[in-house]
Structure 1
Amino acid sequence: MPDTPAKYPAMPARLKIVALAALVIAMTLTVAGSLWLVQKQARQLALPTLHSELWQAYQIHMELDRLLLAAQALLDGKLASDDLVVRVQVLRSLTQPLEGQHLFDFLPESRPAAETTLKRVIALSRDWDQRAHWGDTPGVRQIAEQAVQALPALQRPMHEVMVATNISLANELDVERQHLYQYFTGLGWALLGLLLGGSLLVLRLVGNYREARELSHNLSELNQHLEQRVTERTTELAEGQALLRQILDASPSDVALTDSSGKQVYFVNQRLMQRLNLSSPNDFSLSRLFNNAREALHFREALQARHRVDDWEGMLAGEEPYWGVVSGRLLEYQGGPALLIWSYDISLRKRMEQELLVLATTDALTGLNNRHAFMQRANELLKTAERYDQNCTLLMLDIDYFKQINDNHGHQMGDQVLASLGQLLTRELREVDIVGRLGGEEFAALLAQTDQIDALQVAERLRASVEAMPLSCANGHPLSLTLSIGLASRHPAEPLEGVLGRADMALYKAKTSGRNRVSWAMN
């Protein structure tokens, strides 16, 4: 089927989507703004005290007249003091809402006299209200006298306050009418914009419908072509999977293929099934492959984190556990993540490595550490003792008159003496102690966590055991053997060479003092 060219380029289509999104956002903001303005004006117009300033000023004017009459009646003895207190409280209740309000903001020109009069009335009502108390006849009488003196002069100015309030309120209403006109004009334009935006959206929907019909027709043709390709591809995959199984089954490695969780097993070759004694491929899991379940968990975590693991050495399961190298890959299989695991046996290599390690670190004649291995392990023991501030003592041992044994009885007898001494040291000393043959008839032992007193006892026991060790020459005559030993304890921060040097000096002292004895390094 020939490829159908794209009707709309990618960039214009993207710009159209951006434009439509911007149009929808603008329409949404317009509707939200219009609703907010309408709700704001509705709340303001619904206020119960809206534009009640003129009525309040009129009530104050009338209440001043009533208070003047009540004050005069009190002074004439015709009114009780508590009645005047009531009139004062009524006046205060009328003036209190006007405090802080700007009644005259909309006057065409300022009227200071009206503002002064209103402030004077509010101040008098506040003062009288604070002083008027129930049952306080003398105090209330003083208020009445002040009212009779002050109120007549405020009656006419209060009329001017009402006139100024009326003019200011009329101007304020005119300004609000203008604002409402502007609001409704804006709402009209907003509705017109919404109408135009809605029309554009409808046109776009019609265009999308036509495009969808055309795309549906093209998609139907593509589906037919795709079904044909899927059938062909399925056949190819089946053949490829069969070939892959044959290759993996013939692989010299142990191979398994599972899903990423390990719950579904796709393939296990015969070699691995026989090694793990599996009756079915579904019995395979990493915990069955590894001899240790914790190591299997660590391998899975490493594979999930890095998507590949190469040459992971570990103990693998089987009829008998064996050393193996395991590798893994996280890949895609049958449309999902899968794990490909393969391994091979390295037991022979491990045995050879162990044999080489023994040959490299062991003295072949005595079975003890050779010089290199002794120096390395003794250094590690000294570092541990330094870290934890532990006692540590070094013994230098030398066979007395060993050259005469070789000269008089032959090197074979000398080798037998060295081997016997190696066996005795292994038997008499602890596993934590480091023992080695430094060369010829010279041996060394580093005693862990051993102070001077204990080290001297160990050295004397070794010397006595060597002296009592039964040895016979080739002709059956007994061979006497003695040992000279030099001791030195570890000093803080002292290297191994320093301890060896001081122990060697102590050994020299034991030799020059007659042999077959133990000598201690004094410094």
Structure 2
Amino acid sequence: MQSPSGKPLPRRAANDIPPGQPRPHATYWLLAMVAAMALATAATLWWTLRQTHVLAQPHQQNDLWYVSSVHNELARVSLLARKVRAREASTQDLQERLEVLLGTLDTSGRGPRVSTQLREALPEAAQDLDSLRPLVERWSTQLAPLATQNGNGNGKAAAITADIVRQSDTLLDRLRKVVATVHLFSAQEASQARQQLSQRFLLLSAVLGGLLLGTALLIAKLVRDTRLVRAASQQLVQANRQLEVRVASRTRKIEEGRALLSFILDTSPSDVVLAEVESGRVHFINRRLTERLGLKAAPETLFLPELLHDPETRERFTQALDRYGQVDAMEALIGEHDPCWSSLSARLIEVEGQLAHLLWGFDISAHKALEGQLRELATRDALSGLLNRRAFLERSTALFDHCRRHGQPCAVLMIDIDHFKRINDRHGHQMGDVAIRTCAEAIGHALRDADLLGRLGGEEFAVLLPHATADSAMVVAERIRSGMAQMNIVSPQGQPLSFTISIGVAEMAAHHAGIEPLLVDADQALYRAKATGRNKVLAYEVAIGQS
């Protein structure tokens, strides 16, 4: 950009913020810091409330509760066993109390709940608790059938109650020690939890203090930024006035440059057009493209896809332009009445706030004509004018796949001139070439437009008959054979010359994966026709039966 005097203005770096203007990055960092501190406060508060909740409502399934409950229930069982032995209680009552003790040992069905800390401190007591369940289960199982009997003084019940009293007294002494140890552990854990809670409250206070400080800094920064924005607005008004003068000067130069560019493009040997995407409004179209489209004057509206003659090419051009925003060197026919080949390139750009297509192209009609001639030479046999081996295999493969895909039959004829070497030896290679051309013309006259004929090499020809069965192919082959047998040609020496052909026929079957296996079957039929006398038509199935 230049100043009104014509001198270039100094460039300003992207990160160079004038003094007195707010720095947005500082505000963003401050907001991020406040948000991070708010998240830290929430996490610390949740952490503290959770610990407080744990201290306020301790979980019942801990070692102290568990061991105390087991001790109390075992004491009740021991007392009740003594009453049963003294005939003051029934065996049924003892069996029910054992069930209660069994439920206390495992209310969840997953075995005794003894913590790792208790196991490390009192391994013997933990082992007693682990072994108590199977012992109680054994007592309960032994007393279950005795509880249904009326008498309580039988010998078996007395033995069981004596065993209960003996072992429960020993276990009770050990459980009392466990209760005291677990109570001590619980007191120590509660003390540690209170210390941790105190530390967390201190951390929460520090985080809240930091959040308060960050909020104060953010408010101060916002107030400062507001003042700076007001000052920057006043500077912007003054800068806008200077900019208006510069824009007027720049606009004048742009108009001069646009006029020069229009002149260059109008006289360019390429085709150029610039048109809006939605409305089709033409901003520019040069004279050469107008003439190639057969128009007397430049159109007011033009949509780029309408330039393309072929619908498939138009679809590919539109998709590429919409997806990538550009097309490079796409060969296409342009024009509606007299289309011509052109190499097109296009870009999706913005003009006056609207999306527009910029297209330019070069006439390649002569190149495409030469390319067609070269393609014809590459696919045609020079002597007979038929498809050569490569072109025949390519097109017959596509036709074979089409018939198989739609469930239509097709057949192949393999044709070979009989004793062709004898013709070359007696009459010369020039006469052999005449025989090949004559045979090619005769075969072509007997075929339909949909049939495919090619020379595979030497005196060998191949025909693909789409939608033809083996029977209909035999009819066509016999017509070709008989026609050749009745045809006479004259040698350069004036002598009449006639020759015959042999034909092998094969129809597409399920085992034919492609055109080449089908050609192999027809070739086998041809070989069999020659081996059995020549001048005949033989189907593959018949040839297989004769071999």
How big is the shift at 1:391? 0.8
1:459–1:193: structure 2 CA closer, same or farther, 3 Å change rule? same
How big is the shift at 1:90? 3.2
1:118-149, CA deviations, whole angstroms, 9 ceiling, x for partnerless residues? 67765543322233335245799534542245
1:242–1:131: structure 2 CA closer, same or farther, 3 Å change rule? farther
1:447–1:132: structure 2 CA closer, same or farther, 3 Å change rule? closer
- Alignment pair present for 1:217 and 2:242: no
1:223-255, CA deviations, whole angstroms, 9 ceiling, x for partnerless residues? 653552555555655665566556555656553
For residues 94 and 379 of structure 1, the distance between their equivalents in structure 2, rounded to whole angstroms, comes to 94
User: Is residue 325–residue 347 contact of structure 2 (8 Å, CA) maintained in 1?
Assistant: yes
Among 275, 291, 297, which residue is 2:315 paired with? Answer: 297
The corresponding residue for 1:317 is: 335
- Alignment pair present for 1:64 and 2:64: no
The corresponding residue for 2:196 is: 182
User: How many percent of aligned residue pairs carry the same amino acid?
Assistant: 16
Paired letter, 1:128:
W
For residues 316 and 82 of structure 1, the distance between their equivalents in structure 2, rounded to whole angstroms, comes to 106
For residues 119 and 453 of structure 2, the distance between their equivalents in structure 1, rounded to whole angstroms, comes to 107
The corresponding residue for 1:196 is: 210
- Alignment pair present for 1:170 and 2:188: no
For residues 118 and 303 of structure 2, the distance between their equivalents in structure 1, rounded to whole angstroms, comes to 89
1:446-485, CA deviations, whole angstroms, 9 ceiling, x for partnerless residues? 564699976653433431xx57xxxxxxxxxxxx884455
User: Is residue 103–residue 168 contact of structure 1 (8 Å, CA) maintained in 2?
Assistant: no
Paired letter, 1:255:
V
1:447–1:332: structure 2 CA closer, same or farther, 3 Å change rule? closer
SS in structure 2 opposite 1:225?
helix
Paired letter, 1:169:
H
For residues 305 and 185 of structure 1, the distance between their equivalents in structure 2, rounded to whole angstroms, comes to 60
- Alignment pair present for 1:86 and 2:96: yes
The corresponding residue for 1:460 is: 485
User: Is residue 386–residue 440 contact of structure 2 (8 Å, CA) maintained in 1?
Assistant: no
Q: TM-score, normalised by structure 2?
A: 0.59
Paired letter, 2:217:
L
1:152–1:310: structure 2 CA closer, same or farther, 3 Å change rule? closer
- Alignment pair present for 1:339 and 2:357: yes
For residues 353 and 171 of structure 1, the distance between their equivalents in structure 2, rounded to whole angstroms, comes to 96
Note the residue ranges of structure 1 that are not aligned, 5 or more in a row. 362-368, 403-416, 436-442, 468-479, 494-517, 519-523
- Alignment pair present for 1:393 and 2:416: yes
- Alignment pair present for 1:146 and 2:157: no
Note the residue ranges of structure 2 that are not aligned, 5 or more in a row. 1-8, 401-411, 429-433, 465-472, 505-515, 518-534, 536-547
For residues 445 and 159 of structure 1, the distance between their equivalents in structure 2, rounded to whole angstroms, comes to 112
For residues 172 and 374 of structure 2, the distance between their equivalents in structure 1, rounded to whole angstroms, comes to 120
User: Is residue 70–residue 84 contact of structure 1 (8 Å, CA) maintained in 2?
Assistant: no
- Give 1:47-446 correspondences, 5 Å limit: 47=58, 49=60, 51-53=64-66, 55-56=68-69, 59-60=72-73, 62-64=75-77, 66-72=79-85, 75=87, 79-96=89-106, 99-101=112-114, 105=118, 124-133=135-144, 135-137=148-150, 142-148=156-162, 150-151=164-165, 154-155=168-169, 158=172, 161-162=175-176, 164-200=178-214, 202-203=216-217, 206-207=220-221, 209-211=223-225, 213-214=227-228, 217-218=231-232, 220-222=234-236, 224-226=238-240, 228=244, 229-230=246-247, 233=250, 237=254, 241=258, 244=261, 248=265, 253-259=270-276, 264-267=280-283, 269=285, 272=289, 275=293, 281=299, 283-303=301-321, 309=327, 312-318=330-336, 320-334=337-351, 338-343=356-361, 372=382, 374=384, 377-380=387-390, 391-393=414-416
How many residue pairs match? The answer is 440
For residues 374 and 231 of structure 1, the distance between their equivalents in structure 2, rounded to whole angstroms, comes to 74
1:243–1:28: structure 2 CA closer, same or farther, 3 Å change rule? same
Paired letter, 2:77:
L
Paired letter, 1:267:
H
How big is the shift at 1:298? 1.9
For residues 370 and 112 of structure 2, the distance between their equivalents in structure 1, rounded to whole angstroms, comes to 105
1:432-451, CA deviations, whole angstroms, 9 ceiling, x for partnerless residues? 5569xxxxxxx989564699
Look at both structures and tell me which one has the larger radius of gyration over its CA atoms. Answer: 1
For residues 167 and 328 of structure 2, the distance between their equivalents in structure 1, rounded to whole angstroms, comes to 108
1:41-97, CA deviations, whole angstroms, 9 ceiling, x for partnerless residues? 514642452643575256336513541354135x4xx65543333333334344446
For residues 373 and 101 of structure 2, the distance between their equivalents in structure 1, rounded to whole angstroms, comes to 115
Paired letter, 1:457:
S
SS in structure 1 opposite 2:272?
strand
For residues 117 and 307 of structure 1, the distance between their equivalents in structure 2, rounded to whole angstroms, comes to 81
How big is the shift at 1:213? 3.6
SS in structure 1 opposite 2:182?
helix
Q: TM-score, normalised by structure 1?
A: 0.61
SS in structure 2 opposite 1:340?
strand
User: Is residue 111–residue 164 contact of structure 1 (8 Å, CA) maintained in 2?
Assistant: no
SS in structure 1 opposite 2:487?
helix
1:372–1:209: structure 2 CA closer, same or farther, 3 Å change rule? farther
For residues 87 and 424 of structure 1, the distance between their equivalents in structure 2, rounded to whole angstroms, comes to 114
